[in-house]
Chains A and B, each alone.
Chain A
Amino acid sequence: MFKKLSLFSKLSVLWVGLMFFFAIAGRLLPIADPTEFFEVQGAGLFSPGHILGTDMNGYDLFANIVVGSRYSLLIAIFSVGFGSLIGGILGIAAGYLRGKTDYVLSVLFNIFLSIPNLILSLVLIAVLATSSDPNEPASETRRIIVIIISLTIVIIPILGRITRGATLAWTSSEFVVAAKSMGMKDMMIIRRHIVPNVLPSIYAVAFLAVGIVIVVEGSLSLLGIGVGNGTSWGSMLARAQGDLEYAPIALFVPLTFLGLTVIACNQVGDALRQRLDSRESKL
């Protein structure tokens, strides 16, 4: 199966795989301590001992990329996972049941789509991610959970609309009428006939959404409300933003990783959709 992919798709799969490996094995790898100050500040690429250089604080960038991939990917995967699951279920319900359910859900989707996602996250984090003691910041875990929740809310209407559209098209297809005419129950029809047909479009959009979420997480960090102190790619950007003149590498490295991961995710989503879609002839 892997052999049949195009070169671009192969590279994308390898890249996404590598990022996952970083996220999972992160600290077990022989990398520098990401929180240690080294003497070389603002070192360029391929400096001795620091393959991707260091930033103005003397942090090793490669070590921070590897460790930062964990939160970046964790947030992306959980929010897209929950978002697609809930959005998919709501979308199928709207598209299959039609009528009032469809109307109410569609209006809700549109309302949530019309709220700028950064502002939504900002509000949620401001309200939920606070500790009881005003002098002490909320714990990191709590912050991450709130970020995941707010990004899930961003993803739900996107996936919901896509799924609703696809479901609508398949529900009126003749094989659904045929299944009905054989006495199948609605849940059975949804499980056996609607879901397999709708899944490819959900996958494609979900992978696209992983890219979006990684970028949004970066923007949140830039605004100072993401995960703190260089523990994700976005917060690496936030930490380095003031040092553009002195150590541009500290910005370029996380940006490159962020960009490549987004592109690779889109490509993997596309390749996956093509492989899963048996309607596209393989002759």
Chain B
Amino acid sequence: MSELLKVNNLDVRFDTARGVLHAVKGVSFDLKPGESLGIVGESGSGKTVLSRATMGLLTMSTAKKSGSVKLNDVELTDLSRSDLRSKWGTEMAIVFQDPMTALNPVRRIGDQIAEGPRIRLGMSKKDAKQRAIELLKMVQIAEPEKVLKKFPLQLSGGMRQRVMIAIAIACNPEILFADEPTTALDVTVQAQILGLISSLRKQLNMSLVLVTHDLGVVAGHTDKIAVMYAGEIVEMAPTKELFSNVRMPYTEALLNSIPRITNQSGIRLPVIEGRLPDPTLPQNGCGFSARCKYATEKCHTERPQLVDGGNGHMYRCFFPLGVNK
């Protein structure tokens, strides 16, 4: 199968008052039709910037982007704004993190969902309303006719996120970006929303890029996982392979810091000491070296490259775990 989305060496810098902030450093990944990719990393690792830069949604004048993003063999970075706009919604769509702010507070739910089909697909008012009801049913909202007439503040957080998903899939996109879709929600609702996104992906044969800071979230819902650290992909592998053969010490540290029900009580939860390196400073050596318990002199001075360890498993480390050299 050929690739639907090919991101090659994508690089994003911001001009800030403190200097150039290197948010995304030469990231490459690709996605087949119907495939799902989870992008995991802690706050500030560049996940959100990566997903928005891939879509071309970074419009601030301070953002400088280089590299290539190909969707169906069309180079997106060369497109004019209006050509790019014609791809948004119909070929790629995004679900935002906070459903409180991503819905317009003064417009009815029905109008907001019908907007895409009306304007992008040229449906009549009546058809668009039908489509809105259909979409609300797809995202499993009971009594869609009633919900259409409501304002966002009359819905719960989980309902709002369902509405956001309905808006995003309204024009049948080929790729859905979900930017931390469950972070603002209750734990009980999180599972439902993730399940919903997964089942919609299969039902509509969409590709999915799921951005999150929670490894547990991506575990059951994506085919591949990319772990990001300080703007770089540090490990990327098919989900099963990643969880059974962790190579990168950072991923191992992330996994160790997930609380487990089998943990003995009274024992401190392992945390990753230290912080992300300052993204405005040039970086020598591995970005994780300052926090890595296996780090040697070489890690502090030389930059590791992304190497292929077989089975589609890529990692960026001189001393990968479980590999003897």
Interface on A for B, CB 8 Å cutoff? 99, 173-175, 177-185, 188, 192-193, 196-197, 277-279, 281
Contacts and interface: CB of A to CB of B under 8 A. Distances in A.
B156 to A, nearest CB: 14
A197 B104 contact: yes
Contact of A182 (B104, B106, B111, B120): B120
Contacts of B115: 179, 182, 184, 192
Contacts of A196: 104, 106-107
B53 interface: no
Contacts of B164: 178
A182 B153 contact: no
A180 B93 CA distance: 10
B167 interface: yes
Given A178-B167, A278-B153, A279-B153, A183 B102 contact: no
B90 interface: yes
B85 interface: yes
Given A180-B57, A278-B151, A281-B153, A185 B85 contact: yes
B223 interface: no
A25 B116 CA distance: 48
Nearest to A175: B104
Given A175-B104, A196-B104, A278-B153, A181 B55 contact: yes
A183 B86 contact: yes
B85 A183 contact: yes
Contact of B89 (A181, A193, A277, A278): A181
A173 B107 CA distance: 15
Contacts of B61: 99
A1 B225 CA distance: 55
B89 A182 contact: yes
Kindly name the residue among B115, B120, B164 whose own CB sees the greatest number of chain A CB atoms within 10 A.
B115
Q: Which 7 A-B pairs have the closest CB atoms?
A: A183-B89, A183-B88, A182-B89, A174-B101, A174-B102, A279-B105, A175-B104
B106 A178 contact: no
B13 interface: no
B74 interface: no
A181 B170 CA distance: 12
A184 B151 contact: no
Given A185-B85, A196-B107, 11 more contacts: A99-B61, A174-B102, A180-B57, A180-B85, A181-B57, A182-B89, A182-B116, A182-B168, A183-B90, A192-B115, A193-B104
Contacts of A188: 119
Interface string B81-99: 0000111111001101010
10 contacts: A99-B61, A174-B96, A174-B101, A178-B96, A181-B57, A182-B171, A184-B119, A193-B104, A279-B105, A281-B153
A268 to B, nearest CB: 20
Nearest to A170: B104
A183 B87 contact: yes
A243 B61 CA distance: 65
Contact of B94 (A173, A181, A277): A181
Interface in B51-90: 55, 57, 59, 61, 85-90
B171 A175 contact: no
Contacts of B148: none
Interface in B93-131: 93-94, 96, 98, 101-107, 111, 115-116, 119-120
A279 B106 contact: yes
B107 A192 contact: yes
Contacts of B111: 192
Contacts of B104: 175, 179, 192-193, 196-197
B96 A183 contact: no
Contacts of A192: 104, 107, 111, 115
Kindly name the residue among A99, A173, A178 whose own CB sees the greatest number of chain B CB atoms within 10 A.
A178
A102 to B, nearest CB: 12
B98 A174 contact: yes
A183 B120 CA distance: 7
Nearest to A197: B106
A181 B120 CA distance: 12
B57 A177 contact: yes
A179 to B, nearest CB: 8
Contacts of B96: 174, 177-178
Kindly name the residue among B59, B105, B167 whose own CB sees the greatest number of chain A CB atoms within 10 A.
B105
Interface in B217-273: none
B94 A178 contact: yes
Nearest to B99: A174
A177 B153 CA distance: 19
A197 B112 CA distance: 14
Nearest to B84: A183
B292 to A, nearest CB: 35
Given A184-B119, A188-B119, A178 B89 contact: no
A279 B103 CA distance: 12
Contacts of A281: 153
Contacts of B98: 174
A182 B93 contact: yes
B105 A278 contact: yes
Nearest to A276: B106
Kindly name the residue among A174, A188, A196, A277 whose own CB sees the greatest number of chain B CB atoms within 10 A.
A174
A185 B120 CA distance: 10
